[in-house]
A and B are shown apart, each in its own frame.
Chain A
Amino acid sequence: MLLIRYINQVGVQVVNLINSIGSVSILVFSAIILSFRRPLQLNLIVRQLSLIGVNSLPIVLISGLFTGMVLATQGYHQLRQLSAEGTVGGFVSVSAVKELGPIITAVILAGRIGASITAELATMKVTEQIDALEVMATNPIKYLVVPRFIACTIMLPVLTNFATVCGITGGCLAVVGLFDMNGRFFLKQASDYMFMSSVFVSLIKATVFGMAIAAIGCHKGLSVSPKDGAEGVGKMTTGSAVSSILAILIIDFFLNHILYTILGMK
């Protein structure tokens, strides 16, 4: 009896998950179509670019810097055991460009921006502001989702580049300051191991992560029911951050497989 109930619960969760993936996909599709329809709402997009990009820059820079420093310190100790500490520059640059830059930036923005998008839209839903938009003949997806979707898609790659540069700089500062390594040598190693295709991979990942954060944030915000009230807004906001971070990690695995194994990029 207990087993049947357990299987039933798992089944419900799987159906809910498939349902959510379907709804988010439909939202992404609608947002892409509506992005090309007039009016372009440039003022709304610029406002979101500023909120998402400019305001997130300090935290992204600081996180990137310290991640690079930790990476270099750890890498130096591990590589020294193999007498390969000279390659720490390459180790830091490859890790920062291909993986840590996009992931760290996306996780920070999922917590900071994804959750804030959900809280804002869910509050609007609960206080009938979304209904007010509809009544005033304005499509909420065009007016609210599209600017956030475009801003996240543009800003994630930009912020990722800043985080990556900061990460390599942080790594360089750490090894120069702590282990007396030559800074120029570190940077030469870093550039030798970096390929244009690595930067391209990083940008593709960041773009997809940006789309995912905006889509999940908006979907969660719009799916709150007005009768759920403030409690519903809180639950959705937490759920949004958790779902976005999980989605980023899952998407990262599949993108790595597609880009490196199937397409053979370096």
Chain B
Amino acid sequence: MILIKDIWKSFDQKEVLRGLSLQIPAGETLVIMGRSGCGKSLLLKMIAGLLCPERGEIFYNGQGLNNLNRQDMNRIRNKIGFLFQSAALFDFMTVSENVGFMLSQHTKMSRLEIERIVTEKLSLVDLSGTESLKPAELSGGMRKRVGLARAIVSDPDLILYDEPTTGLDPITCVEINNLINNLHETLEATSVVVTHDIDSAFSVATRIAMIHQGRTIIDGTPDEIMSSTDPHVQEFVSQEFRNQSI
């Protein structure tokens, strides 16, 4: 479904991605791990077409993203859901307007129909009855779940999660992980999750890839990651487990 081929990207003369390649087959939940600042979120933004690589290309169902005009890119974006790290809810809109935004902008659905879908998606993330609230009235976990409802409102083929559990308490983290698994089963969408939360990674991933120094150093099943002899992988996994046990 997604093929990432030798992409390079730098900021302020610092090379962040240095020839990263990765393949994400349809239906998988791929977790991308790596140290802070290694370019995980950057990679998600590139898949969503928000940033362009300096070299290399990303292909979505065989279609290269580099030279697409806005119209063609938007056609692809209509099939992508994105959960931002901060949820990125529009603070001048209610929860209902946030979740139904894509439908009201890009479909000819009636208001009643949009409201019905919004209610359905909000119940999927266990937030029924919050339609009229403003984002400022929600807790961090609720904001993430509204963001999730917004990401899945148009039944996307691909869902991108940027640090879905960062800044949340352990119970809410488990709830979000369960939601990601449930949505994966319900929508049968391909998911790409960026996180450095090992617990979260192992509870949602069908595959895990790890980025180090701008390249993919490992890409395999959770069991393959655990049994990897690569010193960077071992160090990252054991350090993260140690941090969580503390």
A interface residues with partner B (beta carbon < 8 Å): 124, 127-129, 131-132, 134-139
Given contacts A137-B102, A137-B106, A138-B105, contact A132 B77 (CB under 8 A): no
In the complex, what residue of chain B is closest to A120 when comparing beta carbons?
A: B92
Is B59 part of the binding interface, using a Cβ–Cβ cutoff of 8 Å? no
Contact yes or no, A135 B70, CB < 8 A: no
Q: State which of B17-25, B82-90, B199-207 sits at the interface with chain A.
A: B82-90
Find chain A residues with CB under 8 A from B189 CB.
none
CA distance A138 to B82 in the complex (A): 14
Contact of B80 with A by CB under 8 A: yes
In the bound complex, residues from chain B placing their C-beta under 8 Å from that of A127 are 86, 88, 91
* Chain B residue at smallest Cβ distance from A47: B92
B48 touches A135 (CB 8 A): yes
**A143 nearest CB neighbor, chain B only:** B105
How many angstroms between the C-alpha atoms of A246 and B179 in the bound complex? 53
* Residue interface mask B91-113, A partner, CB < 8 A = 1: 10000000001100110000000
Q: Which of B75, B85, B90 has the most CB of A within 10 A?
A: B90
Contact partner of A136 (CB less than 8 A), chosen from B70, B75, B77, B86, is: B77
Chain B interface (Cβ < 8 Å from any Cβ of A): 45, 48-50, 70, 74-75, 77-78, 80, 82, 84-86, 88-91, 101-102, 105-106
**B98 CB → nearest A CB, Å:** 9
Supplied contacts A128-B86, A139-B70, 11 more A-B pairs, CB within 8 Å: A124-B90, A127-B86, A127-B88, A132-B89, A134-B50, A136-B101, A136-B106, A137-B74, A137-B77, A137-B102, A138-B105
Given A137-B77, A139-B70, are A132 and B102 neighbors across the interface (CB < 8 Å)? no
B85: chain A residues within 8 A (beta carbon): 128
Contact of B50 among A124, A129, A131 (CB under 8 A): A131
Partner of B88, one of A132, A138, A139: A132
CA distance A136 to B75 in the complex (A): 10
Say yes or no: B86 contacts A135, CB within 8 Å: no
Determine if B90 and A135 form an interchain contact, defined as CB atoms under 8 angstroms apart: no
A136 to B98, CA, bound (A): 11
CA distance A168 to B70 in the complex (A): 51
Per the bound structure, the CA–CA distance linking A42 and B39 in Å amounts to: 40
8 tightest A-B CB contacts, nearest first: A137-B74, A128-B88, A132-B88, A137-B77, A135-B82, A136-B102, A128-B84, A129-B88
Taking a contact as CB atoms under 8 Å apart, the answer to whether A132 and B82 are in contact is: yes
Q: Are A132 and B84 in contact (CB under 8 A)?
A: yes
Bound complex: CA of A135 vs CA of B73, how far in Å?
A: 10
Bound CA–CA A138/B90 (angstroms): 13
